[in-house]
Structure 1
Amino acid sequence: MRNGRPYAIKIAPAAVIAFAALAVGYGLGELAQLGEQAQLGERDVQTVTQEVRQTGDVKRLCMTVKTGERIDAMSCELIDPLSGGVK
């Protein structure tokens, strides 16, 4: 522990980014496979969104990966009110 914060809190943003990259990579692979199997006109676009959700005084950073209207992955992390980082 350095500067009063555990190591896990320092690497949490990197873990969230790595998860998003894996989810996007997996989704793109699935889209490519679907395109090869059925040559349909337009393909659904995959989107990654981040938003801060607040319930009372509790804030969460939520990430959602969607293909078209289908939710492929969703993850929420608590935001530390003192440091502003995710837990």
Structure 2
Amino acid sequence: MLGRWPFTAEVKDDGSLTDIKVDEAHGQEPFPTERGPKDTVQVPKGMVTRVKATFDKPGMYMWHCHILEHEDHEMIRPLEVH
């Protein structure tokens, strides 16, 4: 995990976001328990969480949220690694 940054955005009627602005000046370093290899990170509301990942082989992977209602909002997405 590289860190977290607050963001603001306009919410459209359909729930999607537009005019997204990330506040690069007020980022947060990872907590000591978040440093090193992880397969899960917390993403607080109103924050962009940046991660760096390495893959040992190409293929299709998934990134997803563990909040069940987010499944309805496409928070489970494919990630293709070449």
TM-score interval (norm. to shorter)? under 0.3
Return the structure number with greater helix share.
1
Return the structure number with greater strand share.
2
Higher-Rg member (1/2):
1
